Amino acid sequence: MVFRVVATVVSLAALGSASAFAADMPAIDAPVAAAAVNEGWIVTLKGTAVVQPEFEGAAKYGLSGYPGLSIRRPGQPWKFGAPDDGFGFAVIDTPWFQMGPVARIRGERDSSDVKKFFGMKDIDWAIEPGAFVEVYPVDVFRIRGELRHGVGP
């Protein structure tokens, strides 16, 4: 029992003297790299692979992918983005509400891919420009809507 009391007193004395030594240390300037973190942009590139119907309404599935790009300033929190979100940026950007332009690319559909479409006109790829609205009623819940219209060659 006496050993425990002595060990505790010695430990507290050592801890107190260590904090006193730390308080006496001179201040060290932050490295240049740490100061540069607060400036500029953080760019995140990602790729998502999915197994999905080859086109809307198809019974045959295929492997495809989506590229992703996220750009934000240091200090801004990372925000969730679903793989099927279009590419856009917020013109109005508050912690709970974002709104801005959006675009997406739709792939082509060739009538020779499926026998049911034989004789039908091929559908070329298209760009779908539009707008998005995103609301965060609470920090962990997102409601997003996109309104797009396809234009193509």
Domain count, the chain: 1
Q: Is 108 a domain residue?
A: yes
Q: What is the pLDDT of residue 131?
A: 95
Of all helices (H) and strands (E), which one includes residue 103? strand 97-106
Please, what is the Cα angle at 54 between 51 and 58, to 5 degrees?
A: 115
Domain that holds residue 60: 2-148
Interior CA angle at 68 toward 66 and 71, to 5°? 170
Q: Is residue 105 part of a domain?
A: yes
pLDDT at residue number 101: 95
Running along the chain, 153 residues long, what does each successive block of 10 average in pLDDT?
48 51 56 58 84 79 81 78 80 91 83 72 86 91 92 80
pTM of the model: 0.58
Q: What is the dihedral of CA 124, 66, 86, 125, to 10 degrees?
A: 0
Residue (of 37, 112, 103) closest to 75 by Cα position: 37
Residue 67 lies in a domain: yes
Rg (Cα) of the chain, in Å, rounded?
A: 28
What is the predicted pLDDT for the residue at 26? 59
